[in-house]
């Protein structure tokens, strides 16, 4: 099930969401033009290495470019390959704009970074002795997905469902689209140790739970009251009102 777009309009231009997408693309282009991309050294220098972050292992001097704690930030903008980048940016494009619209610019970027850090620390906790570097925006984006599911569970998402040689386009509530994605992370993580590379399912799970928890417990506090007031004053036009869902 591949999401293509949602039906939730925004009240403002999601400048930060677009900027994050652009930054990830630019960083990736810089990555692939670097000799360290092919050798993997780049990922050790700027990706999160659990054992290094916890001080269990020390990276060679030529690989330790920055403080290990700073890799919690730099790793969010790096990707392992084109498909890794495209997949993450697709989810960012579809779901992040509404959360940015809800929270506002400052709170959104703080939420996004906090989600990424929470996701990375979850993966670190699950693999404390791992020396495999972790990169990608998926942990932070998972936080966005968790927040979106709590905030807009009934909002329709257009998804592409591959059925062998055929495909089907359906509009499905976000609760089922993102809920299915979350469950899939648990199922996939059952067959992954995280020690030999691959997908950091622990980061996906940790980021999603963090984002959902923040929106569930603190959403009313974080989202400006004018958003809720606007919803109350525009009940008569659900199609044009992004705060009311069919």
Query: Which of 70, 181, 48, 184 is CA-nearest to residue 125?
Result: 48
pTM: 0.87
Contact predicate 150/169, CB 8 Å: no
Dihedral angle, C-alpha 234, 237, 239, 241, nearest 10 °: -10
At residue 52, φ and ψ (nearest 5 deg) are -75, -40
Task: Write the CA distances from 43 to 71, 76, 90, 112, integer angstroms.
Answer: 10, 12, 23, 21
Per-residue confidence of the chain (246 residues) as pLDDT tens digits? Answer: 899 999 888 888 999 999 999 999 999 999 999 988 988 899 999 999 999 999 898 888 888 889 999 999 999 999 999 999 999 999 999 999 999 999 999 999 999 999 999 999 999 999 899 999 999 999 999 999 999 999 999 999 999 988 877 888 999 999 999 999 999 998 887 766 555 567 888 999 999 999 999 999 988 888 876 554 444 444 444 444 443 344
CATH code, residues 12-154+173-233? 1.20.1540.10
DSSP 70: G
Burial of residue 98 (number of CB atoms within 10 Å: 0-12, 13-18, 19+):
buried
Query: What is the spatial distance between Cα 142 and Cα 149, in angstroms, rounded to a whole number?
Result: 11
DSSP one-letter code for 1: -
């Amino acid at each position: 099930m591949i999401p293509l777009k949602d039906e939730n309009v925004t009240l403002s231009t999601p400048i930060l969401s677009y900027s994050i997408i652009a930054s990830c693309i630019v960083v990736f282009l810089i990555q692939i033009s670097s000799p360290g991309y092919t050798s993997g050294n780049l990922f050790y220098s700027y990706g999160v290495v659990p054992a290094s972050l916890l001080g269990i292992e020390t990276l060679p001097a030529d690989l330790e470019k920055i403080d290990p704690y700073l890799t919690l930030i730099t790793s969010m903008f790096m990707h392992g390959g084109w498909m890794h980048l495209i997949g993450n940016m697709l989810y960012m494009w579809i779901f992040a704009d509404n959360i940015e619209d809800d929270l506002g610019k400052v709170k959104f970027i703080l939420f996004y970074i906090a989600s990424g850090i929470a996701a990375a620390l979850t993966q670190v906790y699950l693999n404390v002795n791992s020396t495999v570097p972790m990169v990608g925006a998926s942990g932070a984006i998972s936080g966005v997905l968790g927040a979106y599911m709590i905030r807009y569970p009934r909002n329709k998402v257009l998804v592409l469902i591959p059925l062998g040689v055929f495909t089907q386009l359906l509009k499905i509530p976000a609760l089922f689209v993102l809920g299915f994605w979350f469950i899939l992370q648990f199922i996939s993580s059952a067959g992954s140790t995280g020690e030999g590379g691959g997908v950091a399912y622990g980061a996906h799970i940790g980021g999603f739970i963090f984002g959902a928890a923040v929106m569930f417990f603190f959403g009313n506090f974080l989202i400006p009251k004018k958003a809720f007031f606007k919803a109350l004053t525009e009940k008569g036009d659900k199609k044009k009102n992004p705060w009311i869902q069919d």
